[in-house]
Amino acid sequence: MSILVLGGAGYIGSHAVYQLIDQKSDVVVIDNLQTGHREAIHPEAKFYEGDCRDIEFMRKVFSTESIDSVIHFAANSLVGESMQEPLKYFDNNVHGTQVLLQVMQEYDVKKIVFSSSAATYGEPNSIPITEDIPTNPTNAYGETKLTMEKMMKWCEQAYGIRHVSLRYFNVAGARESGEIGEDHSPETHLIPIILETALGQRSHITVFGDDYDTPDGTCIRDYVHIEDLIHAHILALAYLNNSGKSNIFNLGSNQGFSVKEMIETARKVTNRVIPEKLGERRAGDPSILIASSEKAATILNWHPTKNSIEKIIQDAWNWHLNNPNGFNKDVSNE
C-alpha cells in the first residue's frame, strides 16, 4: 500500500516525501509542477505529473496505484496574490480538494492529512493561539484553507473519510542532509529573502513596518523547522492508522521572534553583511502570531527538536549557499 503525496514537488511536500522514504514507506507523488520542481521529487517516489482538478487523471492514478492514505499539500499559497486573484485560489485549492475527496470516496480511501494554515485564524484575539479560538481569515488564501477544512468535516460525516488538519505557522529551514530546500519564484518569505540578501542576490531586505505594538516595533512570528513540521505529518498518519478521529492541530514552536531579531540572527549565522531598509507595513500582516502546540504535543506526541531559530536559519543557509539558484543548476551565479 502506498501513501499518496499531492504536491510532492513543492517545498513542504518534497520534504515529506524524503522523510516518508527514509522510513521505508511506498510513496506516490502527484504534482502539476506549476510551482513545484521536478528535481525536488525523491528519485524513489513514483511520480505522476498532473493536476488534482483533473478528475480523469486522478481516477487513473487511484485505479493504478494501491493507495492507503493521502497527504495533501497541493495548493497556491501566496497571501498577496490571493487578494488579487481570489478565484484562482478557490479554483486550485478548494475545487482541487473537492475533486480529490470525490476520488477518495470513489476508491474507498479513508484517511487524509491536510496542510492548513495559521491564516485560518486571521487577527487572533489571544496569544498563544489555540485551536479553539475563532477563525476569521483576513485574506483569501486563509479563507480557502478554512473552506477546505470545512469540506473535509462534511465528507467525514457522509463518507467516513477521516482527516487531520495541520495548521502551520511559519515554516522554514531545509533538510539537514541538504538534498532539497526552499525555492519559490517569486520569493516572498522572510528567511529566504534575508539569505538571498546575505548571498548578494538582493541589495537589501525591506522590513515591512516598525510601528507595530511589539517590543522593537516589527512583526513577531513563530518559526518551525520543516523537518519537525514533516515529522508531525508522519505522527498524524500514525494517529489516523490507529483509528484516531478527525482533528485539527497547530504546528508551531510556542515562541515568537521579531523580523529584526531574525535579521540579526541571520547576520550571526551567516557571518555576512545583510543590509536592511525600512518599508511600509504589508497589508494583512497581523502583528503577533504565536502558536500553542500543546494539543499536538499531547495527542500526537509531537515534540519539535530543531526549533531554535539559529538551527532553522543555519539549515536554510546551507541550502542557499550550496544552491544559490535553487533547483535551477543551469543558471550561472555571476
Binding site for ligand UDP (CB under 6 A): 79, 170, 188-190, 193, 205-208, 219, 221, 259, 282, 285
* Rounded distance between C-alpha atoms, residue 64 and residue 58, angstroms: 10
* Rounded distance between C-alpha atoms, residue 231 and residue 182, angstroms: 17
Q: Given the complex with ligand UDP, which of 43 and 186 has the nearer CB atom?
A: 186
Beta carbons within 10 angstroms of residue 268's beta carbon: 9
* Closest residue to ligand UDP: CB criterion: 219
Q: Are 327 and 39 in contact (CB under 8 A)?
A: yes
Cell (9 digits) for 266: 541571520
Judge whether 141 counts as a catalytic residue.
Answer: yes
Q: Given the complex with ligand UDP, which of 79 and 312 has the nearer CB atom?
A: 79
Q: Given the complex with ligand UDP, which of 51 and 285 has the nearer CB atom?
A: 285
* Catalytic residue selected from 48, 141, 168, 212: 141
CB of 240 vs ligand UDP, minimal distance in Å: 27
* Strands of 91-211, DSSP E: 111-117, 162-168, 170-172, 205-208
How far is the CA of 30 from the CAs of 3, 5, 213, in angstroms?
A: 11, 6, 43
CB of 110 vs ligand UDP, minimal distance in Å: 31
How far is the CA of 322 from the CAs of 163, 288, 315, in angstroms?
A: 37, 33, 11
Residues near 129 by beta carbon (within 8 Å), at least 6 away in sequence: 118, 121, 250, 252, 289, 290, 291, 292
Q: Given the complex with ligand UDP, which of 79 and 161 has the nearer CB atom?
A: 79
Signed CA dihedral, 116, 117, 118, 121: sign only? negative
Q: Given the complex with ligand UDP, which of 238 and 283 has the nearer CB atom?
A: 283
CB of 33 vs ligand UDP, minimal distance in Å: 23
Pairing of strands 46-49, 276-279: unpaired
CB of 204 vs ligand UDP, minimal distance in Å: 10
CB of 95 vs ligand UDP, minimal distance in Å: 23
Catalytic residues: 141
